[in-house]
Amino acid sequence: MEWKNTADVVIIGGGIIGVSTAYYLAKEGMENIVLIEKGTICGGSTGRCGAGIRAQWGTEMNCRLGIAALDIFEQLDDELGMSVGLNQGGYLLVAYNEEEFETLRKGMVLQNSLGINSRMISLKEAREICPGLSADDAFGFFFHGRDGHADPFLTTFAYLEAAKKMGVTCFRHTTCTGIVVEDNVVKGVETERGTISAPIVINCAGAYAQFIAKMAGIDIPNWGERHEIMITEPVAPGVCPCMLMSFSGNYYIQQRPHGSIICGMSPEGHPEDFEMKTTWNFLEEMSRTLVRLLPRTKGIRVARQWSGMYDMTPDAQPIIGETDVKNFYHSTGYSGHGFMLAPVAGKILAQHLAGKTPDIDFSMLDYRRFARGEHIRESNVV
């Protein structure tokens, strides 16, 4: 593909956030959009994620983003002309003590006020939704039927193919090595293959966004946290049709349409690193959790395990918007839920850049909130 020395917008990062942003910018009529990715598309967190989608959140902002993203996901196949593998089996949240139950209940009240029809359910109903569930030690359950998951690869590729059709250029194997800034205004990006001049640059580098920001002299509180995950061989459906999740129980488990069960948990000590290490300890811990919750998984074999980075911020909410360097934007720090928020994240930033009022006002997601001490931490995260 022919190299470009100039562009109207350069997006750094070929994960779901960068790709969806490129698509919505093109849809808003922007031209000459270039996306650069140091490796391959989906090679970062996106291709390693659990790909769960939910609207059951604890902060108003995440609820608004979550339900708006669900609305988009529900018609994404038609919009992009390709299946993204959406499957809405719902999310079943399990509380193990009174305090956690109260947090989830408050979340539900908030969600209901924003049009999210989540509800409290009994153990009996939980068993109907998730047959074979063994959770006598649970304190309570919450469920939202529209939650679910999609295929992270298909979703990203569908956005990319649709973006390419609208003229977006994508350079893979192209590492950003510097941000060109003059008089506090962004002028382009330096890459291993040459410089691209551009009046707008968007940092969508996921857990690596902090390093890209630094290139322009910007400090953002964003870091990578290693999370492990595993998938089993495919088995007959019905083992765990919903996403089974608990924040204090520290797990998420779901059976995919092709029969494999995918599951993960938060790592002990929350290691901040960029090593995609996998551990035997995780396999054992996760297996113990599975056998306890879903005894019939005992005879199922693990097929693969891997790890990836959660793209963290101090309040577990994203960083979206312009920086102190003019026209240098960020859309990052999705803190383990960037896949599900990507459709709406790309859309609102594109609307803003096109001079429109975005569907959701994201000004509070400005990165300077941390310095101002204005952040409220999201409680509903594994």
Partner 1 sequence: MPDSVGKKDQIYVCRCEEVTLEEIDEWIDKGYDTVEELKRVLRVGMGPCQGRGCQDILMREIAKKTGKHISEVEPATVRPPAKPIKIGLLAEGGEE
- Contact residues toward partner 1 (CB under 8 A) are 40-43, 47, 153-154, 157, 161, 232-234, 258, 278, 283-284, 286-288, 290-291, 297-306
- Any residues with CB less than 8 A from the CB of 188 and at least 6 apart, and which? 6, 10, 179, 180, 195, 196, 197, 198, 201
66 is a site residue for ligand FAD (CB under 6 A): no
- Any residues with CB less than 8 A from the CB of 355 and at least 6 apart, and which? none
- Compute CA distances 61 → 7, 16, 55, 108, 373, whole Å: 32, 20, 11, 14, 17
Q: What residues from 166 to 185 belong to the interface with ligand FAD (CB under 6 A)?
A: 175-176
Q: What residues from 308 to 367 belong to the interface with ligand FAD (CB under 6 A)?
A: 308-311, 332, 334, 336-340
From ligand FAD, partner 1, none, which one binds at residue 234 (CB under 5 to 8 Å depending on kind)? partner 1
From partner 1, ligand FAD, none, which one binds at residue 278 (CB under 5 to 8 Å depending on kind)? partner 1
Tokens of 239: 């083992």
From ligand FAD, partner 1, none, which one binds at residue 311 (CB under 5 to 8 Å depending on kind)? ligand FAD
> In the complex with partner 1, which residue's Cβ is closer, 294 or 320?
294
From ligand FAD, partner 1, none, which one binds at residue 337 (CB under 5 to 8 Å depending on kind)? ligand FAD
SS3 281: helix
- Only one residue has tokens 């909130």, namely 369
111 is a site residue for ligand FAD (CB under 6 A): no
Question: Nearest distance from residue 269's CB to partner 1, in Å?
Answer: 21
Chosen residue from 110, 179, 204, 293 binding ligand FAD by CB under 6 A: 204
> In the complex with partner 1, which residue's Cβ is closer, 109 or 291?
291
Cα separation, 357 vs 114, whole angstroms = 20
208 is a site residue for ligand FAD (CB under 6 A): yes
- Count of residues binding ligand FAD (CB under 6 A)? 42
- For 271, phi then psi, to 5°, come to -60, 130
Cα separation, 78 vs 86, whole angstroms = 12
Chosen residue from 7, 9, 11, 17 binding ligand FAD by CB under 6 A: 17
Helix (H) or strand (E) holding 204: none
14 is a site residue for ligand FAD (CB under 6 A): yes
Question: Nearest distance from residue 136's CB to ligand FAD, in Å?
Answer: 27
From partner 1, ligand FAD, none, which one binds at residue 303 (CB under 5 to 8 Å depending on kind)? partner 1
224 is a site residue for ligand FAD (CB under 6 A): no
From partner 1, ligand FAD, none, which one binds at residue 175 (CB under 5 to 8 Å depending on kind)? ligand FAD
**Residue among 256, 258, 254, 276 at smallest CA distance from 267:** 276
Cα separation, 132 vs 26, whole angstroms = 47
- Only one residue has tokens 């035997």, namely 280
Question: Nearest distance from residue 305's CB to partner 1, in Å?
Answer: 6
Identify the sign of the CA torsion 381, 266, 227, 70.
negative
**Residue type at 4 in one-letter notation:** K
Distance of CA 50 to the CA centre of its chain: 9
From the list 38-46, 76-84, 99-107, 370-378, the region that binds ligand FAD by CB under 6 A is 38-46
Helix (H) or strand (E) holding 340: helix 338-353
Cα separation, 330 vs 308, whole angstroms = 21
From partner 1, ligand FAD, none, which one binds at residue 185 (CB under 5 to 8 Å depending on kind)? none
Distance of CA 190 to the CA centre of its chain: 27
From partner 1, ligand FAD, none, which one binds at residue 304 (CB under 5 to 8 Å depending on kind)? partner 1
Question: Nearest distance from residue 245's CB to ligand FAD, in Å?
Answer: 9
* C-beta of residue 48 within 8 angstroms of C-beta of residue 184: no
Q: At what angle do helices 60-73 and 98-113 cross, to 10 degrees?
A: 60
**Residue among 343, 252, 315 at smallest CA distance from 66:** 343
Which residues contact ligand FAD by CB under 6 A?
Answer: 12-18, 36-39, 43-46, 48-52, 175-176, 204-208, 212, 227, 229, 264, 308-311, 332, 334, 336-340
